[in-house]
Chain A
Amino acid sequence: MDILVDILRAVLFVVIAYAVVFVAALVNIFYERRFMAFIGDRLGPNRTGPQGVLQSVADAFKMMGKEDFRPLLADPVLFTLAPVTVMIGAVSIQLVIPYTGGFMATSLNVGVIFLVAITSFTTLSILMGGWASRNKYSLVGALRAAAQMISYEIPMLLSLLIVAMIVGSLRVDVIVAFQANYEWIGFYAPFTFLMFYIASIAELNRGPFDLPESESELVAGYATEYSGMRFGMFYLNEYAGLTIMSMVAVTLFFGGWMGPWAGAIQFWGIEWIGIFWFLAKTYVLVSALVWIRFSIPRLQVDQLMAFAWKILIPLGLVNILATAAIILWVPSWKWGLLVFGWVSFFAFVGLFDPILKRRLRKQRERQPVVSA
């Protein structure tokens, strides 16, 4: 009997995870288009359904109706496998994320490590798709994606390590429980959060780090040869990723589902109001992602790599050492972390841009004047 319940539970959570991915993708596509239109002083899609909310649904149907085309010279197995497997990351991440109190698939004892490990799966799919397409744009896009995602996994891991160090556990539900009473880790370690956030933008291949599919250079990057629903899978994964990554960020840094009256309505052992807080926090972060995308120009490959390896990773290592030292030796280490976290946050935010601009100004002065 217990086994039956467990199987039912497993099926339920897989269905929910897939539903979240598809619904989030459709919502995000519409949301981003309207947001982008707002930024660009336009209207955006507003014809299909009230305020255009059904636009994504219409697009999805259009995509399903398209011809399923495979280039003759493409590798048939990998080409088909890539869009099928691309969702695995987005779906299985949710298995360790508590949607709300008492509503979580499994409390893995290596939850945080599972998160990092399963995120890299998307890289594999993208590489498969790009390689199998037999298209030069796809290949360059896929290699860019691989280089970029592997590079940015390191700062991401470094920032997640700090979370684990503060909490003292790798279990995600323990991390959430640690943040009860609004002691959010994002407050203790804002710099760590910033690092995580930047790395997650790169992991999502979104602007300003959208090099693998930068439309002005590589047409559509790794997805160039895909059409119809195969392309749709890449597309859905990309947009679902917005929500999923924000969910991870909220869970690890902003108290997950916790909020005022989160447990006010409870039945079946689930705190229903918590879902609202979880989604609300998630969509604040999603909005920030969209906003960032349309405010910062795209970086170049070398600049992108330099930013990961020369700036984020050294800073991450220093951050880890400093945090470890504070936790070890400072008696009231929470206060110590709070001070260190905010000082480093403001130092980074306040100094990075001026230093960069000063360097650019110096470069500009040294730049030779054109002459005959």
Chain B
Amino acid sequence: MYDQFETPEPDEAVKLALRRIEESTARGEGSDVDGLAFNEVVVNMGPQHPSTHGVLRLVVTLDGELVKDVIPVIGYLHRCKEKLAEKRTYFQYIPIVDRTEYLASINCEWAYVMTVEKLAGMQVTRRAEFIRVITGELMRIASHLVAVGTFTADLSPLGTAMVFYMFRDREIILDLMEELTGARMMFNYYRFGGVRYDLPDGWVEKCRDFLKMFPKKIKEYEALVDTNAVFLQRTQAKGVITQQDVVDYGITGPNARASGIDLDLRRTRPYSVYPELDFEVITAQHGDIFDRYRCRMDEMRESLKIIEQCLDMLPKGPVQLGSLRAPYVITPPPGSAYVGQENPRGEYGTYIESDGSRYPYRLKYRDPCFCNLQLFPKLLSGNKIADAVAISGSIDLVLGGIDR
């Protein structure tokens, strides 16, 4: 009989947190004069918590306002994506990849499709490459808008206004994508060797309108928070990711670049037509919350630049290999391949092993958020709760990608 008043047994993570408190007490590192740690409480932040952006659960040990220890617990959104790959053909699996990191799903598709193309040794048509870059960069902007918007919403009610501005402008991108792919979030648009549809009539002009309008909007966002003393006070010199952390934990994306490392797979491991495009890798120096925010804002500008160049250079030709039909069944030769792709959050890649059949033998995701989240215990400990929330917002996690 289910008893609603039964106090559940604490799970492994909570037990671990309690054990760590006991250990630190035994070592005499308690918080009060006698060295007893009775001031420390273990708090479950999440999985239903307003600022965890999904179903992340942080088992936080608090000493008053101070965060002493953090144990992230993940898996609440686990949908067995790697297991599903065993029973899906390569082609059937494309829409499932969409659902891993749902804020930039087209970039995830891109990584998967590239891996399969590498495995099968397929070429991509040139027009399709440009369309891939355009859509990928559009989604990068959309994803950064959500990232920055929700981060400011974590900081304050001002952010609730900001997040609505950002979602308002993200709508334009989603409308563009909808016209192109027929979907607003889960696109299922890339195909092996190309993309599903060519650009519809008038799409390029609409995209150019967006490019013309959007820089003004970025200025508007920056005017809201960049000079706000409270915002600066709350973001500067907090949550610093050192370069050693980046090396140790494999931090990638804007989080690494904010620490002054020009690690951008579009540059360091060029794929698609990025070598032909002129863009800067945005870096910052201090590696704190503010720099991560700045990196994202500037990256949006760079993405606009890239899209503009692509629209100018867009060649004519087919968007699919050979016939108009996509290759529904492909059987790559036995072997393994891994391709990393610069997702808005960092290096997103898929490792696929093929045994020569129609199904992937083993498919493994390399998810940027999974790696970035590993740094949390180190990054959040020693901060105040409010800072911890701001820091976790600035890291920009998507739980769909972490839990898979």
Contacts and interface: CB of A to CB of B under 8 A. Distances in A.
Interface of A: 36, 39-42, 72, 136-137, 140, 207-208, 210-211, 214-219, 293-303, 353, 356-357, 360, 363-364, 367-372
B155 A360 contact: no
Contacts of B287: 370
B49 interface: yes
A372 B45 CA distance: 32
Contacts of A41: 164-165, 168
Nearest to B52: A216
A371 B156 CA distance: 31
Given A136-B41, A297-B156, A297-B231, A40 B51 contact: no
Interface string B372-403: 00000000000011110100010000000000
A218 B154 CA distance: 11
Q: Which of B50, B156, B241 gathers most chain A CB within 10 Å?
A: B156
B39 interface: no
Contacts of A371: 242-243, 260
B257 to A, nearest CB: 11
A372 B243 contact: yes
Contacts of B164: 40-42
Contacts of B165: 40-41
B259 interface: yes
A216 B41 contact: no
B386 A296 contact: no
A367 B260 CA distance: 14
A363 B236 contact: yes
Given A42-B164, A217-B386, A296-B230, A208 B243 contact: no
B240 interface: yes
B244 to A, nearest CB: 6
Smallest CB-CB A-B distances: 4 pairs = A297-B156, A40-B164, A216-B51, A370-B287
Given A353-B229, A370-B241, A372-B247, A297 B260 contact: no
A357 B387 contact: no
Interface residues of B, number: 50
Contact of B237 (A42, A298, A363): A363
Interface in B226-277: 227-234, 236-237, 240-244, 247, 259-260
Nearest to A371: B243
Contacts of B50: 215-216, 219
A210 B232 CA distance: 18
B13 to A, nearest CB: 16
Contacts of A297: 152, 155-159, 225, 228, 230-231, 234
A79 to B, nearest CB: 15
A159 to B, nearest CB: 22
A42 B385 CA distance: 31
A318 to B, nearest CB: 23
Contacts of A36: 160-161
B228 A40 contact: no
17 contacts: A36-B160, A41-B168, A208-B157, A215-B50, A216-B154, A294-B160, A294-B161, A296-B156, A297-B157, A297-B228, A297-B230, A301-B65, A360-B229, A364-B236, A364-B286, A370-B240, A371-B242
A202 B218 CA distance: 32
Nearest to B164: A40
B123 interface: no
B178 to A, nearest CB: 21
B50 to A, nearest CB: 5
Contacts of B158: 207-208, 294-297
Contacts of B384: 300-302
Nearest to B393: A216
B233 A360 contact: yes
A300 B387 contact: yes
Interface in B40-61: 41, 43, 49-51
B297 interface: no
B236 A367 contact: yes
Given A296-B228, A370-B243, A217 B160 contact: no
A216 B260 CA distance: 29
B5 interface: yes
B260 A207 contact: no
Given A207-B156, A297-B234, A302-B384, A370 B242 contact: yes
Contacts of A301: 65, 384, 386
Contacts of A368: 286
Given A36-B161, A369-B285, A299 B230 contact: yes
Contacts of B159: 297
Given A72-B5, A367-B237, A294 B157 contact: yes
Given A294-B160, A369-B286, A303 B65 contact: no
B295 interface: no
Contact of A298 (B157, B229, B232): B157
A357 B51 contact: no
A215 B50 CA distance: 6
B369 interface: no
B161 A39 contact: yes
A299 B157 CA distance: 11
Nearest to B46: A219
B290 to A, nearest CB: 9
B97 interface: no
Contacts of B227: 357
Given A211-B386, A217-B51, A301-B384, 6 more contacts: A36-B161, A41-B165, A215-B51, A296-B156, A357-B232, A364-B237
A216 to B, nearest CB: 4
Contacts of A356: 229, 233
A217 B385 contact: yes
A38 to B, nearest CB: 10
A300 B237 CA distance: 14
Contacts of B161: 36, 39-40, 294
Contacts of B157: 207-208, 210, 293-294, 297-298
B138 interface: no
A185 to B, nearest CB: 29
A235 to B, nearest CB: 16
Nearest to A369: B285
Contacts of A211: 386
A40 B234 contact: no
Nearest to A73: B7
B339 interface: no
A285 to B, nearest CB: 18
Nearest to B42: A136
